[in-house]
Amino acid sequence: MANPFAGLRPALEVIAREAEILPATGQALEDLMRPDQDEVYDRIRTGTDDRILDVLIETPNKGTYISVPPIYRPEKHTFRYFLDGSARTYFIGTAVEGNRQTPVHVAQIGAVAVFREDNGQVHVAKSSHKMLLLMDRDAVSFGPKVEGIVKRAGARFDFVNLKEDDAYTQGTGVKEPRSKAAHKANWRMRMLEWDIARELSRPEDQWLVLDGGLGSEFREWRDGRQFLGVAKSFSREPQFSVRGERGKRQSLNLYQLLAELPEAHRTAAFSVLSGTVAVWYVRLRPQKELDYPLMGVVKVEYPNPSAEPVPSDVINELSRALVGERSETPHGRDVRWHAHLYGIFLAEQAVKNGFLSPEALKAGLRWPEKARLSAPSGRSVI
């Protein structure tokens, strides 16, 4: 079998020839994402303008909690596609050129959409995997050359400049290049998801569920229809202003709002981003069986480009279908099993099955020996 990292070797050779390499311990070190990173991204996507949600973007419902008993697949099969992505980032060393330096990372990113048949069996509808080389292109003189080599290596490879910011790195405020790598890989993974979502050819009644909230790329998708974002981890920061039983307004934080949310119920749908997104929460599971009030709850983001009030019936139907998705669960496989839709979990597994193992990566990606790369004339010998 050919070395799957072959496309990156010429780039590594340039880096190795032009700079002193400080290899990572154990050849490659996986940069782990913290479990609440999704929560951070949710905060970034929501932005700072919508810290207090007080406008309902649905009609005619005005209540705070609405019953949504489950609809199961045999009765009505609403959600057909489930889309998720994953990224694994490895620090492979630091390239030092005089008094300048850049960390060098390699990342595997992937996104998969699975399709669910009428009988419940799933199969992969579309998938995409890439390998990224990440470094601060402008920190060293050979950066542009490395970028050119990787971009010519084939569609499976791509170059990411750690210096450039994107929505995730801007939102997290991370500046240090080594710390940015994982976020940048994640952002590129999100782009893969976006590509797949657009490329899926879906009949009108087949909904697509995205893992996580809707970023700007999805919100601005004018042709997109029948899709929504379901987040299992979400920001705790929003405050809510709702009408109580006697019509008087009261302020609730997220904990207060969700603590009173019964099983198989949803909250009212709130306006976010000037009404272009409707947001509500659905409790999938009885709270008494779980450790924490926020467990078993998903946050739903529904694209609403027109900013007009969304019919409550639509929101109810989608919420009922979501409650119906509570079985099976990835209990034992994911700490967020209580809010993790099984279809999304399977898409995630499909992505990860397409990744090469750390052992394969460490064996396939080795820094070339500098002595072998330089001849007395200064030209490389390969």
Question: Where do contacts with another protein occur on this chain (CB under 8 A)?
Answer: 72-74, 79, 116, 120-122, 285-286, 289, 324-333, 337, 342-343, 346, 349
Residue among 191 and 346 whose Cβ is closer to another protein: 346
Q: How far, in Å, CA of 82 to CA of 111, rounded?
A: 11
Least Cβ distance, residue 244 to another protein (angstroms): 31
Q: How far, in Å, CA of 46 to CA of 39, rounded?
A: 11
Residue among 232 and 285 whose Cβ is closer to another protein: 285
Residue 168 main-chain phi, psi, to 5 deg: -75, -45
Structure tokens at 107: 């990342």
Residue among 253 and 327 whose Cβ is closer to another protein: 327
Least Cβ distance, residue 340 to another protein (angstroms): 11
Q: Strand 277-283 vs strand 297-303: parallel, antiparallel, or unpaired?
A: antiparallel
Residue among 95 and 346 whose Cβ is closer to another protein: 346
Residue among 289 and 308 whose Cβ is closer to another protein: 289
Least Cβ distance, residue 122 to another protein (angstroms): 6
Residue among 48 and 121 whose Cβ is closer to another protein: 121
At residue 19, the 3 state secondary structure works out as: coil
Structure tokens at 271: 């306006």
Q: How far, in Å, CA of 234 to CA of 286, rounded?
A: 19
Alpha-carbon torsion 269, 325, 345, 35, what sign? positive
Least Cβ distance, residue 328 to another protein (angstroms): 4
Structure tokens at 367: 């820094």
Least Cβ distance, residue 331 to another protein (angstroms): 4
Least Cβ distance, residue 39 to another protein (angstroms): 23
Residue among 69 and 144 whose Cβ is closer to another protein: 69
Structure tokens at 43: 């905060």
Alpha-carbon torsion 340, 40, 190, 145, what sign? negative
Residue among 21 and 284 whose Cβ is closer to another protein: 284
Least Cβ distance, residue 125 to another protein (angstroms): 14
Residue among 198 and 331 whose Cβ is closer to another protein: 331
Number of other residues whose CB lies within 10 A of the CB of residue 273: 19
Least Cβ distance, residue 345 to another protein (angstroms): 8
Torsion of CA 284, 229, 325, 330, to 10 degrees: -90
Least Cβ distance, residue 117 to another protein (angstroms): 10
Number of other residues whose CB lies within 10 A of the CB of residue 346: 20
Angle, vertex CA 321, rays to CA 87 and CA 212, nearest 5: 20
Residues 6+ positions from 35 with CB-CB distance below 8 Å: 233, 335, 336
Quickly tell me which residue has 């990342």 as its tokens. 107
Residue 227 main-chain phi, psi, to 5 deg: -145, 155
